[in-house]
């Protein structure tokens, strides 16, 4: 019993690590722009499909695939930022978000056009046997995923707290009006925040696809849903909240799936979000959401 609980906790943390990265990406964009980018998941999918294409046609190495995924995601993110968010800055949030959904449709169709099969194999991070710690099983690639997520968070922390760019980002999140007055080049910061968020998402996407060993067009929707869910659970607009929300979501999912099955797993996650939102729990609803 205890062994099951610990195993589920471990599995939940590893899934939670990718959710945390996704949530961080969403939160960066939301914190600075006050809008949700519905194309975030699909732009990650774009990057992952670029890597799949490279794998299918050239058999690229793992590191190269990771780089391609991140670059693809950043490129897609820039496209989305230019078309959906830059034109509506200071304007209609709904228009921006619906436009980002429109681009989601574009990415999905593009993926099915260039890579028409529903499922493609993706080279796995690690093909060997999982490690055993007593009664617990730990997959090596899960460990790699946790380590990579940790490294990405550390890199993000360094960017936000040790660079001028990071200072500008934090200023925009905390005091948007004052930051603009202080002369920060807001559009420039926005673009770079998008790139940063997309890069984080690309890392998350690569890790997920490489640990599952396969990719489908559902990746876009999946990443968007999990990222949004985790971001909201941890408290909209808070970076530490995003990490906590992601890990919490992973844990909640792993445990409910064990005791109640996969359908109830999703049901519980959505129910939790709905109840927390309806109760207007203060940590969740303090930031204005345009």
Stretches 67-75, 124-132, 149-157, 265-273: which one binds another protein (CB under 8 A)? 265-273
Phi and psi at residue 195, to the nearest 5°? -65, -45
Of the pair 118, 164, the CB lying nearest another protein is at 118
CB-CB contact of 22 with 230 (8 Å): yes
**Count of residues near another protein by CB under 8 A:** 52
Q: Kindly tell me which residue out of 3, 95, 114, 260 binds another protein, with binding defined by CB under 8 A.
A: 95
Stretches 45-53, 86-94, 160-168, 188-196: which one binds another protein (CB under 8 A)? 86-94
Q: Kindly tell me which residue out of 29, 207, 223, 236 binds another protein, with binding defined by CB under 8 A.
A: 236
3-state SS assignment for residue 215: strand
CB-CB contact of 197 with 29 (8 Å): yes
Q: Kindly tell me which residue out of 4, 5, 59, 87 binds another protein, with binding defined by CB under 8 A.
A: 87
Q: Kindly tell me which residue out of 50, 84, 145, 239 binds another protein, with binding defined by CB under 8 A.
A: 84
Q: Are strands 136-138 and 131-133 parallel, antiparallel or unpaired?
A: antiparallel
Q: Which of residues 98-127 bind another protein (CB under 8 A)?
A: 98-99, 101-106, 108-110, 112-113, 116-118
CB-CB contact of 32 with 169 (8 Å): yes
DSSP label at residue 35: S
Using rule CB under 8 A, residue 281 touches another protein? no
Nearest to 275 by CA among 223, 232, 226: 232
Stretches 46-54, 180-188, 189-197, 224-232: which one binds another protein (CB under 8 A)? 224-232
Nearest to 265 by CA among 10, 7, 15, 2: 15
CB-CB contact of 245 with 232 (8 Å): yes
Using rule CB under 8 A, residue 228 touches another protein? yes
Using rule CB under 8 A, residue 32 touches another protein? no
Which tokens sit at 164? 């001028």
CB-CB contact of 128 with 138 (8 Å): no
CB-CB contact of 32 with 238 (8 Å): no
Of the pair 180, 289, the CB lying nearest another protein is at 289
Using CB under 8 A, list all residues that contact another protein: 30, 35-36, 38, 83-84, 87-88, 91-95, 97-99, 101-106, 108-110, 112-113, 116-118, 221, 225, 228-229, 232, 236, 263-264, 266-267, 270-271, 273-274, 277-278, 280, 284-285, 288-290
């Amino acid at each position: 019993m205890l062994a099951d609980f610990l195993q589920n906790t471990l599995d939940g943390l590893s899934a939670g690590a990718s959710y945390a990265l996704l949530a961080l990406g969403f939160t960066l964009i939301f914190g600075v722009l006050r809008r949700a980018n519905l194309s975030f998941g699909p732009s990650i999918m774009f990057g992952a499909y670029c890597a799949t294409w490279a794998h299918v046609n050239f058999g690229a190495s793992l590191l190269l695939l990771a780089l391609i995924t991140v670059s693809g995601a950043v490129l897609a993110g820039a496209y989305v930022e230019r078309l959906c968010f830059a034109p509506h800055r200071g304007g209609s949030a709904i228009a921006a978000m619906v436009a980002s959904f429109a681009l989601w449709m574009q990415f999905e169709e593009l993926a099915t056009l260039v890579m028409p099969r529903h499922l493609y194999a993706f080279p796995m991070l690690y093909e060997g046997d999982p490690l055993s710690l007593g009664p617990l099983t730990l997959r090596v690639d899960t460990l790699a995923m946790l380590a990579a997520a940790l490294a990405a968070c550390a890199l993000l922390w360094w960017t936000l707290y040790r660079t001028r760019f990071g200072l500008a980002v934090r200023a925009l999140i905390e005091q948007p009006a004052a930051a603009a007055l202080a002369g920060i080049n807001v559009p420039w910061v926005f673009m770079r925040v998008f790139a940063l968020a997309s890069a984080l998402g690309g890392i998350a996407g690569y890790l997920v696809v490489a640990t599952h060993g396969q990719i489908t067009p559902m990746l876009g929707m999946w990443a968007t849903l999990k990222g949004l869910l985790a971001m909201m659970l941890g408290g909209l607009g808070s970076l530490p909240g995003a990490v906590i929300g992601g890990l919490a979501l992973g844990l909640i999912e792993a445990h409910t799936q064990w005791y109640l099955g996969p359908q109830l797993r999703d049901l519980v996650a959505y129910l939790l979000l709905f109840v927390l939102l309806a109760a207007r729990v203060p940590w969740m609803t303090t930031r204005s959401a345009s």
